[in-house]
């Protein structure tokens, strides 16, 4: 891509009045404007079906709102009318003329998958997809199972080349998640022991205190497994388990993640699901079997990870908000087990639990932490959506999920769902505010770090 493509860009946000755009995209643009990392000539075109939408109502509480206000036009249109897409194209050309050449066009589809399909068709049919430097950014969920995801891949390939498509998994773009690769690559102490000889098990947890926040229709069709495990948690697992590419071969990272996912298999007698009390009333469906909690254990066929259980757990309306990767090291006959925690959020940081002699006259030991907190060392972290937008503008696919990765993760999720469908009686109900251990009626095997 020529330099001009980065200097001049048009970001077309389809669904600009939606929740994601208000909560994530527009604030990210504001922050990036403040940091001065956006293309010098950036224009934002906000597509909406609402004739009376108003930009001011979208900018409340956003840093650098004046930057966005000055560059954004709302463009009301139908998302299925060919004539409207032609009208939009002519408007985009007007902008490009003002910018003095061709800009890159980023189509950010911030709409549900069902709405995204016909838009992709329109972009393909009208020739808009073929305009040089056109990119397509898609939000999850990418399909509902492996079959539908395959079908969606084909559908998109009819109009866009794989280079043009950016499948967003915002977890990949979180600073602390990106750091997994750097932590492994640049700390040989850990990378040398990053295997089944030293590691006993890996636990990946995304515990949320929020419920479904009014997203009734979405959640009733999705559930915790499809919402969090298929995308975010399996991506965290992939980054933890993958073989690191050669130094600085970042473009190989998606392939490496895919290979890690391909090696994963479900351990059928260690998969659990549950639902918080009150969920059925909330969604108005007294028979709902949608899980708000899921905990699945996987094994890997990669010899590096033989006999290492990898457990992914997530739930809504739990007692604590935290996302972390916990690596538990093997104990020996005379030692205890060490534990390394990569804390993704909140209180982002890394903690190593080890043992020290408790000062005194007895030979007793105590578990103590060695801790690093991002906040103490680096200050505020950029939001994941800032990376998403910037990398898409720069044409860097490292932090986006390839179609191969998406299909591998659906394979795993489909296998879990098949087991669950065969055992509908195994369904846990939990009180809001519970911990995963309480739901699974087990206690942490290694005690807590102080
Ligand atoms: C989204 C899910 O992808 O991730 C939500 O749809 C979930 O259900 C959210 O709450 C969690 O993201 P974060 O960045 O707040 O951990």
Phi (first) and psi of residue 148, to 5 degrees: -65, -35
More confident residue, 229 or 379: 229
Q: Which are the contacts of 201, defined by CB distance < 8 A and separation ≥ 6?
A: 308, 309, 310, 311, 328
Token representation of residue 60: 């409340």
Mean pLDDT value across the chain: 93
Q: Give pLDDT, residue 425.
A: 85
DSSP β-bridge partners for residue 295: 272, 313
Number of alpha carbons in the 13 Å side-chain half-sphere of residue 349: 15
The DSSP H or E segment spanning 350 is strand 349-357
Query: Would you say 428 and 274 are in contact if contact means Cβ atoms under 8 Å apart?
Result: yes
232 is catalytic: yes
Mean pLDDT of 430-437: 97
Average pLDDT over residues 28-40: 94
Whether 348 lines ligand 1, by a CB cut-off of 6 Å, is no
Alpha-helical runs (H) found in 265-402: 279-283, 374-377, 384-394
For the segment 337-353, the average pLDDT, to the nearest whole number, is 96
Token readout for 138 is 């898609």
C-alpha distances in angstroms, 197 versus 192, 329, 414?
Answer: 10, 9, 30
Q: Are 185 and 293 in contact (CB under 8 A)?
A: no
**CA dist., res. 60 & res. 183, Å (int):** 37
Of 352-356, 418-422, 443-447, the one with minimum mean pLDDT is 443-447
Residue 302 CB–ligand 1 contact under 6 Å = no
- The CB of 383 under 6 Å from ligand 1? The reply is no
178/174 Cα distance (integer angstroms): 6
100, pLDDT greater than 60 = yes
User: What's the whole-number mean pLDDT along residues 355-370?
Assistant: 95
Q: Which fold is adopted by the domain 172-393+401-439? A: Dihydrodipicolinate Reductase; domain 2 (3.30.360)
Give the DSSP per-residue string, 237-279.
HHHHHSPPPSTT-GGGHHHHHHHHHHTEEEEEEEEEEEEETTH
Between residues 112 and 31, the one the model is more confident about: 31
Whether the Cβ atoms of residue 126 and residue 86 lie closer than 8 Å to each other: yes
Distance from residue 62's CA to the centre of ligand 1 (Å) = 20
Q: Is the pLDDT of residue 349 over 70?
A: yes
Q: What is the DSSP letter of 24?
A: I
Domain residue extents for the chain: 3-139, 172-393+401-439
pLDDT value, residue 101: 82
Q: Which atom of ligand 1 is nearest to the CA of 212?
A: 8
Mutation choice for ligand 1 from 177, 206, 228, CB with most ligand atoms inside 8 A: 228
Residue 295 has pLDDT above 70, yes or no: yes
Query: Beta strand pairing status for 8-14 and 41-48?
Result: parallel
Contacts of residue 14, defined as CB under 8 A and 6 or more positions apart, other chains included, come to 47, 79, 107, 108, 109, 110, 111, 119
What is the model's pLDDT at position 335?
Answer: 84
Q: Is the CB of 386 under 6 A from ligand 1?
A: no
Q: Which carries the bigger pLDDT value, residue 100 or residue 399?
A: 399
For ligand 1, the distance from its centroid to the CA atom of residue 140, given in whole angstroms, is 11
Domain at 3-139: CATH code: 3.40.50.720
Tens digit of each residue's pLDDT (9 = 90 or more) over 105-144: 999 999 887 889 999 999 999 999 999 999 999 998 899 9
Alpha-carbon distance 432 to 282, whole Å? 13
Q: pLDDT category, 443, cuts 50, 70, 90?
A: very low
Q: Is 227 in the pocket of ligand 1 (CB under 6 A)?
A: yes
Q: Do domains 3-139 and 172-393+401-439 have the same CATH topology?
A: no
Atom of ligand 1 nearest to the CA of 174: 14
Q: Summarize pLDDT for 171-226 with one digit per residue, the tens.
A: 999 999 999 999 999 999 999 999 999 999 999 999 999 999 988 988 999 999 99
């Amino acid at each position: 891509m020529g330099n001009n493509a980065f200097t001049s860009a048009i970001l077309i946000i389809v669904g600009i009045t939606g929740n994601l755009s208000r909560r994530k995209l527009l604030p990210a643009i504001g922050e990036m404007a403040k940091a001065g990392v956006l293309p010098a000539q950036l224009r934002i075109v906000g597509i909406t079906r609402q004739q009376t939408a108003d930009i001011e109502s979208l900018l409340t509480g956003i840093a650098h709102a004046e930057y966005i206000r000055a560059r954004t036009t709302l463009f009301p249109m139908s998302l299925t009318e060919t004539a409207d897409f032609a009208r939009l194209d002519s408007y985009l050309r007007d902008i490009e003329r003002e910018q003095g050449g061709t800009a890159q066009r980023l189509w950010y589809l911030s709409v549900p998958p069902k709405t995204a399909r016909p838009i992709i068709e329109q972009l393909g049919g009208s020739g808009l997809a073929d305009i040089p430097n056109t990119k397509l950014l898609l939000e999850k969920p990418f399909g509902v199972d492996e079959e539908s995801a395959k079908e969606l891949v084909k559908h998109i390939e009819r109009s866009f080349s794989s280079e043009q498509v950016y499948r967003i998994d915002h977890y990949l773009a979180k600073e602390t998640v990106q750091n997994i690769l750097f932590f492994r690559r640049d700390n040989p102490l850990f990378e040398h022991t990053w295997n089944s000889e030293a590691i006993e098990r890996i636990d990946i947890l995304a515990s949320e205190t929020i419920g479904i926040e009014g997203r009734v229709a979405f959640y009733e069709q999705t559930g915790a497994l499809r919402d969090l495990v298929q995308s975010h948690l399996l991506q965290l697992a992939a980054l933890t388990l993958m073989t690191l590419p050669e130094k600085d071969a970042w473009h190989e990272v998606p392939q490496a993640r895919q290979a890690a996912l391909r090696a994963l298999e479900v351990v059928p007698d260690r998969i659990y699901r549950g639902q918080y009390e009150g969920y059925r009333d909330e969604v108005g469906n007294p028979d709902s079997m949608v899980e708000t909690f899921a905990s699945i254990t996987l094994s890997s066929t990669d010899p590096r990870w033989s006999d290492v259980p990898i457990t992914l757990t997530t739930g809504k309306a739990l007692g604590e908000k935290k996302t972390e990767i916990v690596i538990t090291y093997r104990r020996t006959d005379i030692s205890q087990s060490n534990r390394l925690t990569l804390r993704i959020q909140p209180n982002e940081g890394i903690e190593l639990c080890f043992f020290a002699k408790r000062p005194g006259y007895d030979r007793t030991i105590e578990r103590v932490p060695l801790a690093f907190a991002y906040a103490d060392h680096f200050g505020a972290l950029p939001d994941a959506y800032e990376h998403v937008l910037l990398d898409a503008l720069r044409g860097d696919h490292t932090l986006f999920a390839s179609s191969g990765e998406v299909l591998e993760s659906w394979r795993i999720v489909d296998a879990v769902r098949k087991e669950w469908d065969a055992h509908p009686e195994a369904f846990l109900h939990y009180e809001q505010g519970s911990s995963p251990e309480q739901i699974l009626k087990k206690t942490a095997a290694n005690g807590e770090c102080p």
